[in-house]
């Protein structure tokens, strides 16, 4: 047998080699296709990875949107919080009379509905409105507020048809009359050197004011009195001379300003500015100091605020009527907080003025009106004080009749100040002092206060 070398194969080996060569040629012929298939698969995987991440991110965004509250364009325009400074502008267009009649009410602003909640005691408000409608007055107004907080409890007016929409409580169109004696007395006690027991002289009638009554000389008809009695009985010649000999133009002007004359009264609704101009001549000083003139103007709201200064130990608290403004059941845009404006007079001066206002009720111009309620058991622990004022208009067509009063329980809780204006025509209606008495009596009776 011939020996096999490396270059010679047996028949079987040769056949196996042929098969291996054939498989190599097959795979080599298919290699470009496999490369293309691999690249295609790679591209598909990359594309699916990219688009999948986008899809899941979009789904996450949609899920977040769906889980968040829907905010409309109108809601975006609604302010988150309304400041007290911006409140008057925000309430522009609100019908005040509707609030006074209903207490709370809805209004629209830029297509959004808001609810205004007021401080009004609607039982007291309704009683005041009904009382004024039956008062037989030409016009009338009542303001009741809490002197400690400035909270308005009632703001009611009565006027004839066609007299406009302005609430009389906010209009400074009425002569202040003897209410201005409160300012004169405050200045006289605090800087004029007068005590309530100071002896003062006058002659002639109490409620007139002639130049002959303003002399300091004694005469056969000279009468002695005190500042306390002159205030309670509203004696014009005494206060006329106080203006001339103890105060003067600068002090009267300064104390009028302290009590917010010739300035703005901060309030949620527009309030007329109370006006006084103090002249330099003696008789002009006497007129202003005594309130015996028709040029000093005031609003019923301001009258209540002056009373609250005396009741609140000389401190002026900003009056307010809007408790809250809401959008829907829960979203609160505004909530009131008590704010002090400043101090008008000292605590000691306010104490002396309260003594004088108590005398007005006990023995002065308010005695007759308040006699009935002073005898009631519910008022045994309530301090009552008041100041009256009366003057005719320039043409003697109307009589402007005022009372500013306070009622202060001895425990210091639940006190009120009441300002009443009654305008009488040819016939006298119910007097302002009587209306004030009815209001105070009803308030403490309806609230069933154990005082």
* pLDDT computed for residue 19 by the predictor: 60
Residues 360 and 435 in one domain: yes
Q: Classify residue 366: in a domain, yes or no.
A: yes
Residues 30 and 140 in one domain: no
Residues 150 and 288 in one domain: yes
Q: Classify residue 38: in a domain, yes or no.
A: yes
Dihedral of alpha carbons 284, 290, 294, 296, sign: positive
Residues 47 and 175 in one domain: no
Q: pLDDT (tens digit, 9 = 90+) per residue, 99-131?
A: 777 777 788 777 888 889 999 999 999 999 999
Residues 413 and 287 in one domain: yes
* pLDDT computed for residue 226 by the predictor: 97
Q: Classify residue 150: in a domain, yes or no.
A: yes
Residues 172 and 281 in one domain: yes
Residues 51 and 148 in one domain: no
Q: pLDDT (tens digit, 9 = 90+) per residue, 259-305?
A: 999 999 999 999 999 999 999 999 999 999 999 999 999 999 999 99
Q: What is the CATH number of the domain that holds 293?
A: 3.40.710.10
- Specify the number of domains making up the chain: 2
Q: Classify residue 32: in a domain, yes or no.
A: yes
Residues 127 and 60 in one domain: no
Q: Classify residue 386: in a domain, yes or no.
A: yes
Q: Classify residue 105: in a domain, yes or no.
A: no
Question: Cβ(399)–Cβ(376) under 8 Å?
Answer: no
Of the residues 68, 96, 114, the one at which a domain ends = 68
Of the residues 46, 68, 90, the one at which a domain ends = 68
Residues facing 334 on adjacent strands: 325
Q: Classify residue 62: in a domain, yes or no.
A: yes
The mean pLDDT values, 10 residues at a time, for the chain of 451 residues are: 46 59 59 59 55 51 47 51 82 74 78 89 95 96 97 94 82 97 98 95 95 91 96 98 97 98 94 96 97 96 98 97 90 92 97 97 96 91 97 92 97 93 94 97 77 41
Residues 289 and 356 in one domain: yes
Q: Which two tokens stand for residue 413?
A: 């809780």
Question: Cβ(417)–Cβ(404) under 8 Å?
Answer: yes
* pLDDT computed for residue 191 by the predictor: 96
Question: Cβ(319)–Cβ(154) under 8 Å?
Answer: no
Q: Classify residue 181: in a domain, yes or no.
A: yes
The Cα–Cα gap between 363 and 233 comes to 8
The Cα–Cα gap between 391 and 178 comes to 8
Q: Which residues, other chains included, contact 22 with Cβ-Cβ below 8 Å and sequence gap of 6+?
A: none
* pLDDT computed for residue 6 by the predictor: 45
Residues 239 and 364 in one domain: yes
Residue found under tokens 């002959």: 212
Question: Cβ(427)–Cβ(136) under 8 Å?
Answer: yes
* pLDDT computed for residue 101 by the predictor: 75
- The residue segments making up the domain with residue 400 are 122-319+337-446
Of the residues 23, 43, 68, the one at which a domain ends = 68
Residues 63 and 137 in one domain: no
H helices present in 274-343, as ranges: 282-290, 300-311
Residues 48 and 162 in one domain: no
N-terminal to C-terminal alpha carbon distance within the chain = 145
């Amino acid at each position: 047998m011939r020996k096999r070398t490396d270059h010679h194969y047996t028949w079987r080996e040769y056949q196996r080699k042929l098969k291996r060569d054939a498989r190599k040629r097959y795979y080599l012929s298919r290699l470009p296709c496999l490369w293309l298939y691999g690249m295609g698969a790679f591209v598909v995987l990359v594309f699916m990875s990219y688009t999948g991440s986008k899809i899941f991110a979009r789904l996450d965004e949609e899920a977040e949107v769906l889980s968040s509250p829907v905010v409309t364009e109108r809601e975006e325009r609604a302010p988150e919080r309304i400041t007290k400074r911006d409140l008057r502008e925000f309430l522009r267009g609100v019908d005040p009379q509707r609030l006074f009649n209903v207490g709370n009410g809805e209004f629209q602003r830029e297509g959004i509905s808001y609810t205004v909640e007021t401080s009004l005691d609607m039982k007291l408000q309704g009683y005041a409105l009904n009382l004024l409608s039956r008062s037989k007055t030409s016009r009338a107004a009542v303001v009741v507020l809490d002197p400690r907080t400035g909270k308005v409890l009632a703001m009611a007016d009565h006027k004839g048809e066609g007299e406009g929409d302005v609430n009389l409580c906010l209009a400074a169109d009425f002569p202040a009359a003897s209410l201005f004696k409160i300012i004169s007395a405050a200045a006289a006690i605090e800087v004029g050197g007068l005590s309530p027991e100071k002896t003062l002289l006058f002659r002639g009638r109490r409620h007139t004011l002639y130049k002959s009554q303003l002399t300091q000389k004694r005469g056969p008809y000279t009468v002695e009195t005190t500042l306390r009695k002159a205030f309670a009985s509203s004696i014009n010649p005494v206060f006329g001379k106080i203006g001339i000999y103890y105060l003067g133009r600068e002090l009267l002007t300064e104390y009028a300003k302290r009590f917010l004359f010739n300035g703005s009264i901060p309030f949620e609704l527009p309030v007329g500015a109370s006006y006084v101009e103090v002249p330099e001549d003696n008789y002009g000083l006497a007129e202003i100091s005594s309130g015996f003139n028709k040029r000093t103007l005031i609003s019923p709201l301001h009258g209540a605020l002056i009373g609250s200064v005396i009741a609140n130990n000389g401190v002026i608290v900003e009056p307010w009527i809007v408790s809250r403004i809401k959008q829907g059941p829960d979203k609160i845009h505004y909530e009131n907080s008590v704010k002090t404006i400043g101090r008008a007079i000292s605590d000691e001066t306010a104490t002396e003025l309260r003594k004088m206002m108590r005398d007005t009720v006990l023995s002065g111009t308010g005695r007759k009106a308040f006699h009935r309620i002073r005898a009631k058991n519910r008022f045994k622990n309530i301090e009552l004080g008041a100041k009256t004022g009366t003057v005719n208009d320039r043409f003697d067509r109307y009589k402007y009749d005022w009372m500013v009063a306070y009622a202060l329980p001895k425990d210091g809780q639940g006190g009120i100040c009441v300002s009443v204006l009654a305008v009488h025509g040819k016939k006298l209606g119910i007097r302002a002092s009587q209306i004030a008495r009815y209001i105070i009596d009803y308030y403490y009776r309806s609230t069933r206060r154990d005082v």
